């Protein structure tokens, strides 16, 4: 039985076009996504969303809340936790402004897509509840880009809690994809009192699931996932609690993972360095060969 690896049928033709010089790679957009964790009866659980099948990119695939960096994410905010310069060193980016934007995007996108907000009135507190019409109006304004995240935090008198995040992984969309993202993955624990919900128009289902159970569903071919999703799930399996995962974040390798494609005669071989399970070999007709 095949697993649930997302593999668009147009990839082989795009890989050949890139190799032949008729396709130019687009510059990836910076993005951030958050593996939101909570402690369940059988161990740590992660919050996942299923992208609507109508979505042009990864329709039907399970993923985590996240999205692209807004240029306004660099605007000054009240900040708690490691300084942006420290985050820059951890994330492997050039300067504090870029690091702040990535961290802000992680917090903002988590709020926009799940209603969970990693911010509080003080540097050592977190908002207890983000439900209600006034919160929903603010969230909708953020989604519509009618207000900058910094302005939202300022108006509500909130401090961004960067210390509640742990950097976990970094993956870059393959060069042959028309939509490319340079994505940093973070882990965070669900704050006490808050609830995650499906607040995104891009998702049709949300679940709390043990990483091992989600990975087993992928292995059975029941859950569709992109390589970064299943790879991060597998890396979470050994942690019994959300706190353990956050404690393990500093040890995670943030070297960017970028797919490599090569032509072997009429065949295309696609691989992700360090993640052999995702290697694919595709024949001349775009099918066949299967997993290498």
The more confident residue out of 226 and 92 is 92
> What's 131's domain CATH number?
3.90.79.10
pLDDT of 9 reads 80
pLDDT of 289 reads 43
Instruction: Judge contact between 172 and 180, C-beta under 8 A.
Output: yes
Instruction: Kindly state the DSSP code that residue 259 receives in the 8-state scheme.
Output: -
**Does 108 score more than 60 pLDDT?**
yes
pTM for this prediction: 0.92
pLDDT of 288 reads 43
Q: What is the pLDDT of residues 161-197, one digit of tens each?
A: 999 999 999 999 999 888 899 999 999 999 999 998 7
239 within some domain: yes
Residue 74 to residue 93: CA distance in whole angstroms: 14
Average pLDDT over residues 102-123: 96
Q: How confident is the model at residue 53 (pLDDT cuts 50, 70, 90)?
A: low
**Does 38 score more than 50 pLDDT?**
yes
163 within some domain: yes
Q: What is the number of domains present in the chain?
A: 1
Q: Residue 139 corresponds to which tokens in the numbers above?
A: 């969230």
Residue 241 to residue 214: CA distance in whole angstroms: 16
Q: What is the pLDDT of residues 262-288, one digit of tens each?
A: 888 888 888 999 999 998 888 755 444
Name, in order, each residue with C-beta under 8 angstroms of 267's C-beta and a sequence gap of 6 or more. 281, 282, 283, 284, 289
Residue 6 to residue 68: CA distance in whole angstroms: 21
Instruction: Judge contact between 67 and 113, C-beta under 8 A.
Output: yes
Instruction: Judge contact between 192 and 132, C-beta under 8 A.
Output: no
284 within some domain: no
Q: Residue 59 corresponds to which tokens in the numbers above?
A: 């329709």
Phi and psi torsions of 58, nearest 5°:
55, 40
100 within some domain: yes
291 within some domain: no
Average pLDDT over residues 43-49: 95
pLDDT of 266 reads 81
Phi and psi torsions of 285, nearest 5°:
-85, 0
- Half-sphere exposure (Cβ direction) of 256: Cα atoms closer than 13 Å: 16
Angle at 205 between CA 203 and CA 207, to 5 degrees: 125
23 within some domain: no
Residue with tokens 């369940």: 40
Name, in order, each residue with C-beta under 8 angstroms of 256's C-beta and a sequence gap of 6 or more. 92, 170, 171, 172, 182
Q: How confident is the model at residue 209 (pLDDT cuts 50, 70, 90)?
A: very high
1 within some domain: no
From the number of C-beta atoms within 10 Å of its C-beta (0-12, 13-18, 19+), residue 65 rates as buried
Q: How confident is the model at residue 50 (pLDDT cuts 50, 70, 90)?
A: confident
Q: Residue 176 corresponds to which tokens in the numbers above?
A: 């042959």
Q: What is the mean pLDDT of the chain?
A: 90
Instruction: Judge contact between 159 and 121, C-beta under 8 A.
Output: yes
Instruction: Judge contact between 204 and 50, C-beta under 8 A.
Output: yes
Phi and psi torsions of 184, nearest 5°:
-95, 130
Question: Domain range holding 71?
Answer: 34-253
pLDDT of 56 reads 53
10 within some domain: no
Q: What is the pLDDT of residues 155-164, one digit of tens each?
A: 999 999 999 9
7-11, 14-18, 92-96: the lowest-pLDDT one: 7-11
E strands, the chain, in order: 29-40, 43-51, 62-63, 66-68, 79-80, 119-120, 159-161, 166-172, 181-189, 203-209, 257-258, 260-264, 267-272, 275-282
């Amino acid at each position: 039985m095949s697993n649930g690896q997302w593999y668009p049928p147009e990839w082989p033709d795009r890989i050949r076009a890139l190799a032949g010089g008729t396709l130019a790679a687009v510059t990836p957009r910076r993005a951030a996504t958050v593996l939101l964790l909570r402690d369940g009866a059988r161990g740590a659980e992660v919050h996942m969303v299923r992208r609507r099948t109508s979505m042009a990119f990864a329709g039907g695939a399970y993923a985590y809340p996240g999205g692209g960096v807004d240029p306004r994410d660099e605007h000054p905010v009240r900040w708690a936790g490691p300084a942006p310069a420290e985050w820059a060193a951890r994330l492997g980016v050039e300067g504090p402004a870029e690091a702040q934007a990535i961290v802000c995007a992680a917090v903002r996108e988590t709020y926009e897509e799940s209603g969970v907000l990693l911010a509080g009135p003080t540097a050592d507190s977190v908002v207890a509840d983000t439900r209600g019409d006034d919160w929903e109006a603010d969230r909708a304004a953020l989604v519509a880009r009618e207000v900058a995240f910094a302005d939202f935090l300022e108006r509500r008198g909130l401090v961004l809690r960067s210390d509640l995040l742990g950097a976990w992984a970094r993956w870059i969309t393959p060069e042959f994809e028309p939509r490319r993202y340079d994505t940093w993955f973070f882990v965070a624990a669900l704050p006490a009192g808050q609830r995650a919900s499906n607040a995104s128009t891009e998702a049709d289902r949300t679940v709390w699931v043990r990483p091992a159970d989600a990975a087993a569903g992928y292995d059975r071919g029941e859950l569709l996932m992109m390589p970064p999703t299943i790879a991060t799930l597998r890396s979470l399996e050994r942690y019994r609690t959300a706190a353990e995962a956050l404690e393990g974040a500093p040890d995670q390798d943030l070297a960017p993972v970028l797919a490599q494609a090569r032509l072997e005669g009429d065949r295309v071989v696609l691989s992700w360095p360090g993640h052999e399970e995702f290697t694919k070999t595709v024949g001349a007709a775009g099918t066949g060969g299967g997993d290498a």
